[in-house]
Amino acid sequence: MAEEDKSAEPRTTATKQPAVKKTTAKSAAAKTASATSQTPSKRTAAAKKSTASTARKRTTKAKAAAPQTVGEAPAPVIERTSPEQFGRVNVLDITPNVENGLFPARVELGEAFNVTAQVFIEGRTKAGATVSVRNARGREVERFAMTCTNPGLDRWEAMVKIGEHSDLKPWDADYAAVKRQLGKWQIVIEGWEDTYQSWLHDAAIKVKVNDDVENALESGAQLLARWADAKDSKLSAADKKVLRDAAKTMENKSLSAEERLAAVQSSDIEQLHETNPLRDGLSESNPQRFRVERPKSSFASWYQFFPRSEGAYYGEDGKIVPGNLKTSIAGLERAAAEGFNIVYLPPIFPIGVTNRKGRNNSLVAGPNDPGSPFGIGSELGGHDTVDPQLGTMDDFKAFCERAHELGLEIALDFALQCSPDHPWVKAHPNWFRTKPDGTIAFAENPPKKYQDIYPIDFNADMEGIEKEVERIMDLWVKAGVTIFRVDNPHTKPVRFWQDVIAAVTKKHPEVLFLAEAFTRPGMMRALSYVGFTQSHCYFPWRNTKEELEEYLEETNGNGGFYQHNTFWPTTPDILTAYVRDNGIAGHAVRAVLAAMGSPSWGIYNGYELIENKQRPGFEEQIDNEKYEVKVRDWDSTEKYGIAELLTSLNKIRDTHPACRSYHNLHILPSDDAGVIAFLRQTPAELTGTGKADTMIVIVNLDGHNAHQSIVHIELGDFGFATDKPLKVHDELTGRDFEWGYDNYVSLAPWADVAHVLTVVED
């Protein structure tokens, strides 16, 4: 009797038993006799043949015993043993990615940001994609569904966040919980075969045209049962019941095909497919590294004042009596009242006497001229000393303590330069560049000259300078400083800052750095790579609609993963023609653009008093505060309304999560060259409130004339209903409007220069 061919056996179910071959005693005896009658050589050959035959039989039996699957087998997970290998599903072109493989993208804790990737599978099978957020140890902490935004290019996107937003300060009791979440994180894109969606697409067609309906519905029932048992889907008991009940309905042949299919077309299953899908053939990308930074690293509001002007007044002899660190408490309280959370001070160190500058940068100082605080160092001390005219180190510590009580961080200007009287000049003459005649060269940028400043030369002893700077920064951090604003860092070696920032943050990881670097893009990017958390930028000189739209997108685009542009309308060194020429309305316009156009913005005090007179021939203020003490009448701010506007803008920013990200701004089309419109949006799952947050900002850029414009918003692109009006609330005026696709806006500088609209959910 010939042995049966088990490989030809029809495939039915995995539980069917293979046929058993019957062997008679007679045939067995005959085989035994035949084997024993052979010669030794023949017996050896027969044994080898028998062994080979046995091996083939075992293989055949193993194959026959392997479980068989009805219908198509689910896509397997294919192990990747090297970074360049593909998984079962293909994942390419992830953004953001680690720059040059070295510098990870940077985000603030809880900051919403966009992740994109190409995810695809062969043929007409449907794919799905997920963003997996993992801690430094690779453990998944959160998972976000991705949406295919461009099927033709297989482009998938998702807004995600790492950790939860916090307003805790480094000195707060619960800050340790924030600190534990900072540092290295990973994001992995997970592609997968969307077996359910592929099946549903085909099944709906087959039921409609009555083609192989029974097999289609039976496959669906089995798929739902497998989905309910999938650990990866992280289903609750209630979720599993929904799927199993639908599977039972699908198997119920007493119902019509349409009724059976309807069981899986419910909103509950649709929601499960969105949040807890069945992910076959799960394929992970290479991990993308992220650096998560502390609160205020991205979302911050700065306020600058000079302590010597705070509390200054005219004495009986008509001379100015300067303020000091004690009278500067008034500045802290004003900043807090206006809603700012960082107070930034210029250098507070002793000021040199040699070549001291006078008013408006004149070369000769008068007897009462205090000099520029950037001419650092005298016989009284250098960068590690409080100017005695401002007070003592204890006064500064008390100043910081009061700031902390008000919820304010203190940022200290660190200008790495010296007056000719600085102690370093004698102690470390090799730190300064000399001329051929042996004299030290003062700073210059021909034709500009800074006779009161000696620039430091880093070529002779950079390591020694680094150690001294680290010592000094440590001293100020222990006194209460949590942020350093570094003056002109681009004029020093990038490697110098890389070493210093690494050393300071290793000891004090809470310390942030702001770069005052108006320079080339490459240098700006390099400074951000080495640890400058935020940067001054070219916002003051972006004034036309075209310039602003381009700069808003640049600031809030992929560059925002590295360089955090901080928008300042003015500084002690910058007063543009726009601010000079557009009066109160111009100040309001620039404040709205700065506060709503970037998560980080700043105001130099005096802005509330419309201090906008330029020094002839220069884009800076006349009677510059860098060279003199200012006496201000803070009681007169009410007649301008700017202080009230600043307070409102900070309140809006603090209230709305959409204002906290460098990655959620969209320009809206508007048909008037004098009107700019943009939208910020953070989805419901990232706001912490359970509701999406959308802000629409429209600004009239003309400080003298009214402008009207049609502002277009593609409602469906932002998840809004397309069949009913969009309700919006103006946060500045309290008025309510209804918006559609195209919206008429009229703004006049003598009434409203801007709308800051919140979308109101029904």
**Per-residue pLDDT tens digits for 230-258:** 999 999 999 999 999 999 999 999 999 99
Pairing, β 600-604 against β 566-567: parallel
CA separation for the pair 632, 644 (Å, rounded):
18
Residue 52: pLDDT band with limits 50, 70, 90: very low
Nearest partner of 565 among 578, 574, 556, 575, judged by Cα: 556
What tokens appear for 289 in the block? 């590294």
Q: Which two tokens stand for residue 368?
A: 């009462």
Question: And the tokens for 128?
Answer: 């799905």
- Which residue is catalytic, options 516, 608, 620, 693? 516
Mean pLDDT, residues 617-636 taken together: 96
| Average pLDDT value for residue range 650-657 | 98
Average of per-residue pLDDT across 8-13: 34
Q: What is the pLDDT of residues 588-615, one digit of tens each?
A: 999 999 999 999 999 999 999 999 999 9
pLDDT bucket at 51, cuts 50 / 70 / 90: very low
Catalytic site residue from 487, 608, 628, 752: 487
By C-alpha distance, which of 214, 191, 190 is closest to 203? 214
- Note the pLDDT of residue 450: 79
Residue scoring higher pLDDT (22 or 147): 147
**Domains present along the chain, CATH in parentheses:** 6-65 (no CATH), 90-293 (2.60.40.10), 300-656 (3.20.20.80), 665-759 (2.60.40.1180)
Average pLDDT over residues 311-316: 96
291 vs 293: CA distance, rounded Å: 6
Q: Is the pLDDT of residue 132 over 70?
A: yes
- Position 42 scores a pLDDT of 40
For residue 553, pLDDT beyond 90: yes
Q: Known catalytic residue: 193?
A: no
Query: At 438, is the pLDDT very low, low, confident or very high (cuts 50, 70, 90)?
Result: confident
DSSP designation for 463:
H
| Average pLDDT rounded to a whole number, residues 467-478 | 98
Question: Where does the pLDDT of residue 305 fall: very low under 50, low under 70, confident under 90, or very high at 90 and above?
Answer: very high
Q: Is 176 exposed, middle or buried (0-12, 13-18, 19+ CB in 10 A)?
A: exposed
Tokens 């700069």 label which residue? 551
| In the chain, % of residues over pLDDT 70 | 90
- What's the confidence (pLDDT) of residue 71? 59
User: What is the pLDDT at residue 445?
Assistant: 72
Q: What is the mean pLDDT of residues 298-307?
A: 98
pLDDT of residue 83 exceeding 70, the answer is yes
CA atoms within 13 A on the CB side of 388: 6
Extended beta strands in 47-154, E state: 90-95, 105-108, 113-120, 127-135, 140-145, 147-150
Q: How confident is the model at residue 25 (pLDDT cuts 50, 70, 90)?
A: very low
183 DSSP β-pair partners: 292
Distance between CA 338 and CA 356 in Å, rounded? 35
Residue 452: which pLDDT band, with cuts at 50, 70 and 90?
A: confident
**Dihedral Cα 84, 85, 88, 90, nearest 10 deg:** 20
- Distance (Å, whole) CA 409 – CA 332: 10
Residue 516 is a catalytic residue: yes
Tell me which residue has tokens 């509390």: 311
User: Could you count the other beta carbons within 10 Å of the beta carbon of residue 155?
Assistant: 18
Of 560, 548, 568, 509, nearest to 662 by C-alpha is: 560
| Three-class SS state of 495 | helix
Question: Between 52 and 745, where is the model more confident?
Answer: 745
Task: Kindly state the average pLDDT of the residues 738-751.
Answer: 97
Place of tokens 């599993």: 240
Say what the pLDDT of residue 45 is: 42
pLDDT at 536: 97
Using a 10 angstrom Cβ sphere, with 0-12 exposed, 13-18 middle and 19 or more buried, the burial of residue 44 is exposed
- What phi and psi values does residue 255 have, to the nearest 5 degrees? -95, 160
Residue ranges for the known binding site for alpha-maltose 1-phosphate are: 357, 417, 452, 488, 626-627
Question: The sheet that has 726-730: what strands, in order across it?
Answer: 665-668, 675-682, 693-700, 754-759, 726-730, 736-739
Q: How confident is the model at residue 441 (pLDDT cuts 50, 70, 90)?
A: confident
Reduced to 3 states (helix: H, G, I; strand: E, B; else coil), residue 406 is coil
Identify each DSSP E strand in 465-582 by its residue range.
483-487, 512-516, 534-535, 566-567
Cα 402 from Cα 329, distance rounded (Å): 8
d(CA 588, CA 640): 10
Nearest to 668 by CA among 694, 698, 692: 698
Q: Is 521 exposed, middle or buried (0-12, 13-18, 19+ CB in 10 A)?
A: exposed
Whether pTM > 0.95 for this model: the answer is: no
- The residue ranking higher by pLDDT, 58 or 278, is 278
Mean pLDDT calculated for residue range 522-528: 96
Bridge-based pairing state of the strands 443-445 and 448-450:
antiparallel
- Does the structure show a pLDDT above 80 at 141? yes
Question: Does 15 have pLDDT greater than 50?
Answer: no
Q: What is the mean pLDDT of residues 322-336?
A: 98
> Looking at the predicted structure, is the pLDDT value of residue 662 above 90?
yes
Q: So what's the pLDDT on residue 13?
A: 33
Q: What is the mean pLDDT of residues 378-398?
A: 98
The mean of the pLDDT values for the chain is: 90
| pLDDT for 26 beyond 80 | no
Structure token digits, residue 760 = 């109101």
